[in-house]
Amino acid sequence: MVMVVRMVSPDSALAIAPADMLSARFDDLGVTLGPDGGTLRVWSHAAESVELVVFDDTDLDWITGTVPLVPADDGVWTTTTPLLRPGARYAVRVDGPHAPGNTFNRGTLLLEPYSRGLVRTGYDGWRSVVVEGTFDWGGVTKPAVPMDRTVLYEGHLKGLSKRHPDVPGALRGTYAGLAHPAMVEHFLKLGVTSIELLPVHAFATEPRLLQHGLTNYWGYNTLNFFTPHAAYATEEARRQGPEAILREFKGMVRLLHEAGLEVILDVVYNHTAEEGIGGPRSSLRGIDNRAYYRQADDGAYIDVTGCGNSLNTSTDAAARLVLDSLRYWAQEVQIDGFRFDLAATLGRDADHTFTPDHPLLRAIIDDPALADVKKIAEPWDVGMGGWQTGNFGDGWTEWNDRYRDRVRNFWLSDVDYARRASTSPVGVGGFAHRLAGSANTFSAERGPLAGVNFVTAHDGFTLRDLVSYDVKHNLGNGEHNRDGADTNRSFNHGAEGETDDESILATRRKAMRNLLGTLLLSAGVPMLTAGDEFGRTQRGNNNAYCHDSTLTWLSWEHAPWQRHLHAHVQRLIRLRSENPALRPMRFARWGERTPSASVMEWYDEHGQTMSIDRWTDPSHRTLQYVAASTPELEQFNRVLLMVHGNERAIDITLPRIDGVTRYVSLWSSADESPTEAGTEHACGDLVELAGTSMRLFRVE
């Protein structure tokens, strides 16, 4: 992060709040094809000249034509020429004044920001490509999965299918491979509804990684906001060019939609691959550096992303670029939703302060073109005031890091502490808040669906590593183990990493089931990380962004315990679907009937209403949670979830509730493989609960 004192003055020409980003002058930027060829429109506030450069189709260094652009309207430059035909390779050159913050160079060949296709020249050069984008959707429409029924599955486009034995070799690790019947079958059998892909916008690997023989595997280093990453297409599509790559991408979306699966894209609009000053000048930096990136008066970058630069969404053009990209993917490519990386950066104003009413954030919610897509914020960045969980506005769903931390603490670090100190550090109250939808984080108006619950994500330990390692093991990243989070709230259960001790392995397996059970039985929107359903490991690496290898690709060869874990996840997702009490859309209000809320009652291990002391007493980490739905769209439903947070087994008395005659067992985390449901118990019966375990019942 770059710390600066002098900020761009709010009354400077560039610190214009993007209230006018919807102005018609920003319409149709990029290339629009017509009867006279293509019309190119480029925005640059400070440019003195803009030139189109067209190249030979095969020799990307051979210039076949140049055309000057003329000023059109308040920073927009334009030209219409027959040279801009489908498949044409082109770039722009921009010249302007030399002043602090400007980096114009009339000799630099730049990517046009709205390019629908890219081709590479040399190891670090690129050309824009004119793409028609026609595609027959065959009447297939978006699945439109309701948010309360959404189960997100976060995975890497390449890593998901790269090692799958039933996917043909030519398709593994590609867009087509993700939509292969073998992959679709896995998603459907598991029960997830929405595939959330790590970045698939065209991206580049940082020179620093290349020097270490590594690569940017995750893809959080975007070159262009409109072009799918070419390396994820099949060899045949790459040979045919950008039009075929886009067609393969759309074909993937269509096939997943036919199966009823949504496609969510992780989008990186907070920074670009141009890095800090001195990094590549590939596009925005050469077109209008001062307008597109956050800077101090002297031109020093204000980096709130930790990636060298931060997109300046306080200017109309930068905000509109983001909005137009979202519209393109949502409409032309039929994407179902977006997860916004470091979304707090997008909501910073001209003074670089986050505001939930930022015009871009409001425009994303209010735009009719985006009305049918899910908007998921990673609600933080690394700048001052960057942690904003719970502070985004209506219409946004947020990654709930408070949920992640509390759930990890309860099942892992608190248990580790109790082994050392013979008592847990905290009671069950904070955990219960997260289980019930995080009402202490999200407002009553937004409700529990404002939060995406997760225990793991691409960034950090896998589920198996979370229960197998106390510390990170990132030496393979080339940074002497300095990278990656140091605070993981993990617990190795008695041995660091691999072990043959069956007692430790059994305890780890139960811990994984507890974490997955909590995730999939909590109010809110659950997100499962790909491979966790099988207990995937990255051998203790909690920052594997730079490994494109078997370390990060999913393995599809599984031991019996991994198949049992997969069966637990299937059961839990099915139970979530079948029991609306587990997925309320609203928070209940005391003394009121709130449709589609769950009325929650809390009991201790004796079947008595939880007292204040029991919530906070670290020696009593046991509760019974009864959730009863308030029917609006589905039939009445009521469930009971038992949670026991210490390692001593306990007998629990089922609560006596008016009108309740029996409790039907549905699931237990103590089982190595899920047993058939159906065991019945009466009110007041004693039920044995294993140490650190959970049980779910249907209440009848």
**DSSP-derived secondary structure letter, 482:** -
Q: Tell me whether residue 502 is one of the annotated catalytic residues.
A: no
Confirm if 483 and 474 have CB atoms less than 8 A apart: yes
Pull the structure tokens for residue 41: 């429109």
Instruction: Identify the active-site residue in 262, 341, 532, 533.
Output: 341
Burial 388-409 (b: 16+ CB within 10 A, else e): bbbbbbebbbbbbbbbbbbbbb
Pull the structure tokens for residue 173: 């690790």
Q: Which residues share a beta bridge with 265? A: 197, 338
Burial degree of 58 (CB within 10 A; 0-12, 13-18, 19+): exposed
Distance from the Cα of residue 358 to its chain's centroid: 21
Alpha carbon distance 292, 101 (integer Å): 10
Burial degree of 279 (CB within 10 A; 0-12, 13-18, 19+): middle
Q: The sheet that has 117-121: what strands, in order across it? A: 30-34, 37-43, 76-81, 63-73, 49-55, 89-95, 125-129, 117-121
The residue count of the chain comes to 700
Alpha carbon distance 19, 173 (integer Å): 42
Confirm if 576 and 526 have CB atoms less than 8 A apart: yes
Burial degree of 614 (CB within 10 A; 0-12, 13-18, 19+): buried
Confirm if 484 and 470 have CB atoms less than 8 A apart: no
Confirm if 625 and 640 have CB atoms less than 8 A apart: yes
Q: Phi/psi at 518 (nearest 5 deg)?
A: -60, -45
Question: DSSP of 201-260, one letter per residue?
Answer: B-B---HHHHHTT----S--SBS-SSSB-GGGS-HHHHHH-HHHHHHHHHHHHHHHHHTT
Q: In 26-161, which ranges are continuous DSSP H helix?
A: 157-161
- For residue 246, what is the enclosing H or E element? helix 242-258
Burial degree of 665 (CB within 10 A; 0-12, 13-18, 19+): middle
Q: Which residues share a beta bridge with 694? A: 643
Alpha carbon distance 423, 445 (integer Å): 38
Q: Phi/psi at 270 (nearest 5 deg)?
A: -80, -25
Burial degree of 196 (CB within 10 A; 0-12, 13-18, 19+): buried
Q: Which residues share a beta bridge with 377? A: 340, 398
Distance from the Cα of residue 10 to its chain's centroid: 32
Q: Tell me whether residue 341 is one of the annotated catalytic residues.
A: yes
Pull the structure tokens for residue 330: 């949502």
Pull the structure tokens for residue 102: 């400007």
Helical axes 502-521 vs 560-578, angle rounded to 10°: 20
Alpha carbon distance 686, 684 (integer Å): 7
**DSSP-derived secondary structure letter, 524:** S
Q: Where do the DSSP E strands lie in 259-355?
A: 262-267, 337-340
Q: In 153-206, which ranges are continuous DSSP H helix?
A: 157-161, 175-178, 181-190
Instruction: Identify the active-site residue in 148, 378, 401, 548.
Output: 378
**Mind telling me the catalytic residues?**
341, 378
